[in-house]
């Protein structure tokens, strides 16, 4: 497995096949093309099998340096093999070295356990996203 920065366009195949399969919502996010947004992937056997984008968006007031995790996806054929956890660990280390204090995301209810296992905590502000379901804001202090 290899963690690396990737181009925005390299996130699209997994965003579409994993996050938007059968759902008529956009797979492009506000802030995707900003110079401060970072896109990472985990390459395994020469193929990008996990992706995530990180956009500098503040969730909590104060002097914390914060990034929102968006569009995290792992190829359906390799889910459960540790690629998602590897991506979160590597990204957390990267951002900690850059002085970032907080990573946060709008996690699907079905992914709460994954994020908790990888150091995130629920903010207990559940909301529903049309066509997808219940979400909660989840935080990881670095």
54-99 pLDDT, tens digit each = 999 999 888 999 999 999 999 999 999 999 999 999 999 999 999 9
Contact 126, 136 (CB under 8 A): yes
Name the 3-class secondary structure at 10.
Answer: helix
pTM of the model: 0.91
Q: Give the tokens for residue 123.
A: 């903010």
User: Rounded to an integer, what distance in angstroms lies between the CA atom of residue 83 and that of residue 17?
Assistant: 17
* In the predicted structure, residue 140 carries a pLDDT above the cut 80: yes
Q: Give the tokens for residue 96.
A: 């900690």
Residue spans per domain, the chain: 2-101
Q: Which CATH number fits domain 2-101: 3.30.1300.10, 3.40.50.2300, 3.30.70.1140, 3.40.630.30?
A: 3.40.630.30
């Amino acid at each position: 497995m290899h963690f690396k920065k990737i181009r925005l366009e390299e996130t699209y195949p997994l965003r579409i096949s994993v996050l938007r399969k059968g759902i008529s919502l956009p797979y492009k996010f506000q802030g995707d093309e900003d110079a401060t947004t970072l896109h990472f992937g985990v390459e395994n056997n020469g193929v990008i099998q996990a992706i995530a984008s990180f956009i500098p968006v503040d969730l909590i007031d104060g002097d914390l340096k914060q990034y929102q995790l968006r569009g995290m996806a792992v190829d359906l054929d390799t889910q459960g093999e540790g690629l998602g956890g590897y991506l979160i660990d590597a990204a957390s280390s990267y951002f900690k070295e850059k002085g970032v204090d907080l990573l946060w995301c709008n996690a699907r209810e079905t992914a709460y356990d994954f994020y908790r296992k990888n150091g995130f905590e629920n903010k207990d502000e559940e909301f529903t996203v049309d066509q997808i379901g219940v979400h909660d804001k989840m935080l990881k202090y670095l």
